[in-house]
Amino acid sequence: MKIIYASMAIINEHKAIIQPLNPIWYQPCVPQMDMLRLDLIHPVISGNKWFKLKYNLETVLAEGYKNILTFGGAYSNHLVATAAVAKEYGVGSIGIIRGNYAKNNPTSTLDECRALGMRLLFVGWEEYARKTDDVWLKDLVAEFDTPYVIPEGGANEAGRRGAEDIAKLIPETYSHVCVSAGTGTTLIGLRNALPAAQKILGFVPMKEGSYIKDEIEPYLRVKENWQLFDEWHIGGFGKWNNKLLAFMNNFYRINNIPLDIIYTSKMMYGLDELLLGRHFPDYARILCIHTGGLQGNSSVQDFLSY
């Protein structure tokens, strides 16, 4: 455990507090609604990203890898967090980017990855779809001098094990736990580690994103009491509109909590509609998990009040 203790020098998981939401936001629909502020543990390596990376990092350092190679889209917070972790520990990083469209018009996320020292390789969607293909991975490993490979979103055993650690921060008094779900890795860790009586709700920010159910189910030890919602993608992954921006500003005004444009804002937007539709039982005590990624707001910063 020596390496994990070293990691804690830059990441203090105890900074993650549970912050009560303003009752104006959720009453009279339910009696309690709070937020686990994982965004507070680090300005860049924040939220669930750290938890999915930390045991991968342990292997990188213990086995002397010189580079980390991972995958993501043009708005991937996972890529930024990986680049920051690698730089912090003197390890190189390579990002395989989905789609060639951002090669000449990079997003602020990709600019930040480059600033942190990550080498970017842009590939077409068809080629990117081979990200779990052993033959293609073998070629990539050979091309980049045998790096340690982390799947998109930290979706491996080490990532799932790290996500289970988030459950240690969650009291059993909550009846419902809500989290954004990109690859579903965090949801898997939570469902496996939390008591079966607590219901896990996953909010998918991709259009028709419920397909990740098939990717989640094989890794679940606790099979029941979880659900996915993909209705509030706002046009697709990384997409936003003025209504979402107004929602984010209003949420900040009421609760003094900044939301990110990619994940947590869409989850809270969906939760607001579920509350108004009286989706929850009267006794529901809800915990929402802020999964970080606030650096992704740089592209919309001029429209936000925080």
What tokens does 82 get? 């990986």
pLDDT above 50 (res 124)? yes
pLDDT above 70 (res 275)? yes
Query: Buried b / exposed e across 139-166, counting CB within 10 Å, b at 16+?
Result: ebeeebeebbbbbbbbbbebbbbbbbbb
What tokens does 148 get? 């340690």
Band (11; pLDDT cuts 50, 70, 90):
confident
In terms of pLDDT, which residue wins out, 43 or 269?
269
How many alpha carbons fall within 13 Å on the CB side of residue 36?
A: 23
pLDDT tens track for 61-115:
999 999 999 999 998 999 999 999 999 999 999 999 999 988 988 998 999 999 9
pLDDT above 70 (res 306)? yes
- Say how far apart CA 138 and CA 146 lie, in whole Å: 9
What tokens does 139 get? 């070629």
- Say how far apart CA 139 and CA 153 lie, in whole Å: 21
* Structural domains of the chain in order of their starting residue, each with its CATH number: 2-44+157-303 (3.40.50.1100), 47-154 (3.40.50.1100)
pLDDT at 102: 87
Residue with tokens 């081979």: 130
pLDDT at 123: 96
Measured in degrees and rounded to the nearest 5, phi and psi for residue 69 equal -115, 130
Give which of 275, 87, 250, 267 is closest to 180, Cα–Cα: 267
pLDDT at 9: 57
Band (22; pLDDT cuts 50, 70, 90):
very high
pLDDT at 227: 97
pLDDT above 50 (res 4)? no
pLDDT tens track for 164-217:
999 999 999 999 999 999 999 999 999 999 999 999 999 999 999 999 999 999
pLDDT tens track for 216-248:
999 999 999 999 999 999 999 989 999 999 999
pLDDT tens track for 24-62:
999 999 999 999 999 999 989 999 999 999 999 999 999
pLDDT above 60 (res 7)? no
pLDDT above 50 (res 305)? yes
pLDDT at 2: 37
* Rounded average pLDDT over 255-265: 97
pLDDT above 80 (res 19)? yes
The model carries a pTM of: 0.93
Please list the helix, strand and coil fractions of the chain in percent, rounded to the nearest 5, in that order. Answer: 45, 15, 40
Residue with tokens 């967090």: 81
Beta strands in the chain (DSSP E): 18-20, 32-37, 67-72, 92-98, 118-123, 148-150, 176-180, 199-203, 226-229, 285-290
pLDDT at 41: 95
- Say how far apart CA 80 and CA 46 lie, in whole Å: 10
3-class secondary structure, 67: strand
pLDDT above 70 (res 5)? no
Helix (H) and strand (E) counts for the chain? 12, 10
pLDDT at 190: 98
pLDDT above 70 (res 8)? no
